[in-house]
Structure 1
Amino acid sequence: MARFDSSPGKADSPDSAKPASAGKSAEKRKRSRIVAGAGITAVVAAAVLIPLSLGSPTPAPPAASSPAQSAPALAPAEVGPPVTYYKQPGPPAGSPLEKVEPLKVDVSSDLVGTSLNKGTMGISLEATDLADPDLSSDNASLVKLLKELDQPVLRFGGNAVDRRFFWTSTGEAVPADYKGDETHPVKAVGPADLTRLKTLLEAGDAKVTLTVDLGHYNPARAADMVKNASQILGDRLLSVTVGNEPNGFVFNDVKTGSGYSLEQYIRELKDYANAIYAVAPNVPISGPGTFDSKWWQPFVDADIPQKKILTFHHYPLSDCDGKVPQDSPTMANLVSRTMHDRAAEYQNAALAVGRAAGLETWIPETGVSACPGSNETSRTHASALWAADYALTAAQLGITRVSLHSSLLTCKGGPPLSAVCSAGAYPYGNGKMSGRANFFGLSMVAGLEAGKFMKLNSSGGGLAFSYALQNADGSTSVVIVNENDPEKAAQTFVTLNLPGKPVTGTMTQLSGPSYSAEDQTVIDGAKTEPKPLAKRATVPGFAYKSQTQQFKLTAGTVTVLNFKY
């Protein structure tokens, strides 16, 4: 499997990415009261809702822009503040408006048995990025991004760690056998870099997982790094991994001369683990961090003294030369039910190994594709839809950490699949970081309340995926990832059956004009995290104390609904 290297040598050229290209009900339903809401749209003070014709015998509530009618006077005790309904974007002008089968979602009070916790979402970077002075609390733009992921994990590893990363706590010179070039320089990292990193972690309320160099066999040096990291970072250090993707060492010029094998990896893993345990016994070892499932069980079975965490890397569309069409990074593959189902199958395979051993399972490095340079999925709104659905699928199955592999290099010229990038001139820019479309997909998931996944049944809706969470306050959050084509598909009529009778229903939404749109993904109309729950607008047509809610959703969106009872 090919690997996405977020170093400058894998950058794309600016021109290399190309875009993919019945009758109305006569009855009016009266509301007994007006429910308060807040948000970004115009106030609608109506208490009478007029059904919409949807080509279906089931009447639908009005869109947010429907004209209001006067309601019968209510007693003062029944009148609340004006309702602000969420105003989502409609399909682009001139769209064919292909009809989408209505979506029906029945949420059960029964639980799946897994949870979504704060800190599930994260960003993966190259180990050499530890030397970058921009990893500091002084970098307000990076602090902001971390806060938008709500207690994320920063993971440092990537291809660089076994090639161009040199740890030293004494300031010694980099040995001659560490090879780099102008666009892939060798970087020395020491305790001062970890001290600076800690300021960023504290300012952004983040944690970290590190990778030590296995390409240059040196257990003592790795142990010294972990000892310093444990002392400096404290409980913000979650784990350490020995080597990055050791299953690929024989293919990518790390240990070609020795014919590196799984058996050799296990022997070296034990050497590293024992050396680390002697100086930092409380730091767990996570691994094997491979893209080959054959390495999972041997890692789990390895006799090492530390607590272990099973990790694997996953880039679903990484057939870079087109030999396996279903694995090629094309838009058709990205926005497909097959993509969703195959990801869940692979995640479940890893979870089965981890659960049998009583281990947590993480995905510390993932992305749409590991292919270098641009392809038609790069930087696109479709990647935001994928990121949200991929992360929610993983969390619902039981995976507790998911990190998108990224780079601190520039937005223009840097790795096109990176979730974050820097403004300024290539390659290192000015350190002013911003999120790309896939980052905002993660942000939608990170903005959810911590909760327990609820069982549900869904049918219809075309290319749509639904999730539900029982929150600590008893409310229900429902997420609908509507992957239907935003340029062609009509809005989807949704019938949502809840386990209770809500008194409020609010909404936030990620949207974009097309699958291929670049730098146009927004949340609630802006390039930022979802609005706080208390400031969100009311679900259009919200029915007070009704277990059945009906509304429309625009295609190409991720919508988070919250209902309080």
Structure 2
Amino acid sequence: MPPQDPLYDPAPDSRDEGTDAPRPRKLRPAVVLSVIAVIAVVASLVFFLRPGDGGNAAAPAGTAPTSEAALPPAPEVTYYQQPGPPAGSPLEPVEPLQVSVSNDQVGTSLTKGLVGISLEATDLADPMLSGDNASLVKLFKEADQPVLRFGGNAVDRRFFWTSTNEAVPSTGYKGDKAHPVRAVGPADLARLNTLLEAADATVSLTVDLGHYDPERAADMAKHAAEIFGPRLLSFTVGNEPNGFGANGVRPGGYSTGQYVEELKAYAVAMNAVAPNVPISGPGAYDRKWWQPFIDADIPQKKILSFHNYPLHSCDGGDPKSSPTIANVMTPLMHQRADDYQQAALEVAKAAGLETWLPETGIAACPGSNETSRTHASALWTADYALNAAQLGITRIGFHSSMLTCKGGPPMSAICSGGAYLKPDGTFTGRANFFGISMVAEMEGGKFLNLDSKGGGLMYSYALRNGDGSTSVVLVNQNDPEKAAQTEVTLTLPERALTGTMTQLAGPSYAAEDSTVIDGAKSEPVPLAERATVEGFAYGSRQQTFKLTAGTVTVLNFKH
């Protein structure tokens, strides 16, 4: 097997803890059972709720009344067929899950463009980033209006911007066969723009701070603003400047004071030629760098950005932070991310800044580890993105690569076919990409408060969508090889007239290339074509059903 390449250069030893119209599609055979008519008991031409079904709660203006009221007969539906536990599984029981969703809003939203792909700045020179690349267009459409962020360790080491076709300087830029030095110019940005337009994506750029040159950065900003227009969301000055002193980008050390002074020079020069483009920063993985950026007197300071890789102990020195499946599938992993993200949100909110997480992933470690390419990474990705959005983070970029699936970075959400270092430009998504797709394909809406009890290793989210429907997401991280199906009792804020579902599933935590959505390696079935959750109770607030372990299930209820 070809050698594995790191997703990016080895980092310091530790990281800080912490309705689009539906696309037409036929229902997949693996998804549904044969059509079963739901028998409606009709005493006359109207249908009345039975006492005790919870139908007397008050409803907000604009929603269906929840008092006993006439309903038409129940329509015919097709039930969703989810996979069961693997044959021979021990079927360890899981405590039943009880979820009660309120009409009260959390105060945060799930918006289109939440989840995106982070790439190295040198990838801007890759001719495969084009609207002519059908496979990339398809993938990014499945990520539904993603942000493509360009930065990574490459930007301060081996990225050279030139609008005049200069040669890359012979000193100061260092690469290797897998990570070469690249020159990037306006033609590369114009080619990328064809991809953004074809896939309905946006872009966020990072300028080189490793080689101090505010004028060159301003020249890049000027061309980018002209070429991308409103699709350009932000600039960041440097990538992870907190590591410059330790990793040799700036020999002799690099302080927050030096960073702020250089940041000011860059921001002023860039703002003079691209005055409408926000500055985000510091793009660091050390929280001590957040406040200096916030306090910096620079124009267009709109976004606090930070990086986070929850599992950072690459040498195993901290067993709880080592990249193992046992660590990924644990409540500590969820809580660690939650705590770190809340810390960033707190300081950003106090300063009136938006909060982005433009570079993240399970582990900061190069090469393969237990979590690479696994179904566990899909379960983690979906929960991580949803929890971050519910807390208030508005952009998340999962760090990825344009290299090949064989031999390329194993944690990349996307990869190309072809022999090692010879990508053929046909891109596919790995397991963690399907986790991204599940979140991206949601309708978007405002998070609702809920009470959740039981369910073992499960996480619950609820949203009120723009059309008045309610979405409920249940991330079932119980072991798909061992755990029995979980009995779920869900109480909705209003009576449900329809209840459909889509589901990500896989046979085991460690399974590679086996994650599917609705039985196929593709995006979720369009909302209008989804099958009904088995056991759906027409006209009732309370829904009872079972969920297979190792799944992410998105339920949508119309009232």
- Provide TM-score, normalisation by structure 2: 0.89
Could you tell me which residue of structure 2 aligns to residue 249 of structure 1? 244
Correspondence list, 1:430-449, <5 A: 430-449=424-443
Work out the CA distance in 1 between the residues paired with 2:263 and 2:73: 67
Work out the CA distance in 1 between the residues paired with 2:75 and 2:174: 66
1:168-215 superposed Cα distances (whole Å, 9 cap, x missing partner): 000011111222222221100000000000000000000000000000
1:335-362 superposed Cα distances (whole Å, 9 cap, x missing partner): 0011001110000000001100110000
The question of whether the paired residues in 2 share the 8 Å contact of 1:406 and 1:417 is answered with yes
Residue 539 (structure 1) aligned with residue 533 (structure 2)? yes
Residue 294 (structure 1) aligned with residue 288 (structure 2)? yes
Residue 43 (structure 1) aligned with residue 43 (structure 2)? no
Correspondence list, 1:257-296, <5 A: 258-296=252-290
Match for 2:338 among 341, 344, 359?
Answer: 344
Work out the CA distance in 2 between the residues paired with 1:431 and 1:44: 41
Residue 500 (structure 1) aligned with residue 494 (structure 2)? yes
Match for 1:199 among 194, 201, 206?
Answer: 194
One-letter code aligned to 1:497: T
Secondary structure of the residue that 1:225 maps to in structure 2?
helix
Work out the CA distance in 2 between the residues paired with 1:373 and 1:38: 38
TM-superposed deviation, 1:309: 0.6
Work out the CA distance in 2 between the residues paired with 1:300 and 1:433: 38
Work out the CA distance in 2 between the residues paired with 1:482 and 1:181: 42
Residue 233 (structure 1) aligned with residue 224 (structure 2)? no
TM-superposed deviation, 1:306: 1.6
The question of whether the paired residues in 1 share the 8 Å contact of 2:264 and 2:297 is answered with yes
Segment drifting more, 449-458 vs 182-191: 182-191
Work out the CA distance in 2 between the residues paired with 1:199 and 1:415: 26
One-letter code aligned to 1:218: D
Match for 2:329 among 328, 335, 345?
Answer: 335
Residue 6 (structure 1) aligned with residue 7 (structure 2)? yes
Could you tell me which residue of structure 2 aligns to residue 15 of structure 1? none
Could you tell me which residue of structure 1 aligns to residue 17 of structure 2? none
The question of whether the paired residues in 2 share the 8 Å contact of 1:43 and 1:82 is answered with no
TM-superposed deviation, 1:5: 4.9
Could you tell me which residue of structure 1 aligns to residue 98 of structure 2? 104
Secondary structure of the residue that 2:493 maps to in structure 1?
coil
Residue 391 (structure 1) aligned with residue 392 (structure 2)? no
Work out the CA distance in 2 between the residues paired with 1:480 and 1:78: 30
One-letter code aligned to 2:464: Q
One-letter code aligned to 2:305: T
Secondary structure of the residue that 1:454 maps to in structure 2?
strand
One-letter code aligned to 1:6: L
The question of whether the paired residues in 2 share the 8 Å contact of 1:499 and 1:547 is answered with yes
Residue 181 (structure 1) aligned with residue 176 (structure 2)? yes
Secondary structure of the residue that 2:520 maps to in structure 1?
coil
One-letter code aligned to 1:426: Y
Could you tell me which residue of structure 1 aligns to residue 405 of structure 2? 411
CA RMSD of aligned residues (A): 1.6
1:366-417 superposed Cα distances (whole Å, 9 cap, x missing partner): 0000101111011100000000000000000000001100000000100000
Could you tell me which residue of structure 1 aligns to residue 110 of structure 2? 116
Segment drifting more, 267-276 vs 37-46: 37-46
Could you tell me which residue of structure 1 aligns to residue 64 of structure 2? none
Residue 363 (structure 1) aligned with residue 360 (structure 2)? no
TM-superposed deviation, 1:41: 1.1
Could you tell me which residue of structure 2 aligns to residue 549 of structure 1? 543
Segment drifting more, 495-504 vs 426-435: 426-435
TM-superposed deviation, 1:47: 3.7
Match for 1:127 among 102, 121, 126?
Answer: 121
Could you tell me which residue of structure 1 aligns to residue 309 of structure 2? 315
TM-superposed deviation, 1:46: 4.6
Could you tell me which residue of structure 2 aligns to residue 456 of structure 1? 450
Secondary structure of the residue that 2:104 maps to in structure 1?
strand
Correspondence list, 1:502-521, <5 A: 502-521=496-515
Work out the CA distance in 1 between the residues paired with 2:366 and 2:219: 34
The question of whether the paired residues in 1 share the 8 Å contact of 2:7 and 2:367 is answered with no
Segment drifting more, 179-188 vs 88-97: 179-188
The question of whether the paired residues in 1 share the 8 Å contact of 2:119 and 2:399 is answered with yes
TM-superposed deviation, 1:308: 2.4
- Provide TM-score, normalisation by structure 1: 0.88
The question of whether the paired residues in 1 share the 8 Å contact of 2:140 and 2:199 is answered with yes
Work out the CA distance in 2 between the residues paired with 1:148 and 1:325: 36
The question of whether the paired residues in 2 share the 8 Å contact of 1:410 and 1:428 is answered with yes
One-letter code aligned to 1:253: G
Number of residue pairs aligned between Structure 1 and Structure 2: 507
Secondary structure of the residue that 1:429 maps to in structure 2?
strand
Structure 1 unmatched ranges of 5 or more? 11-36, 50-76
Structure 2 unmatched ranges of 5 or more? 11-25, 41-70
The question of whether the paired residues in 1 share the 8 Å contact of 2:74 and 2:538 is answered with no
TM-superposed deviation, 1:80: 6.3
The question of whether the paired residues in 2 share the 8 Å contact of 1:501 and 1:546 is answered with yes
TM-superposed deviation, 1:278: 1.2
TM-superposed deviation, 1:498: 0.2
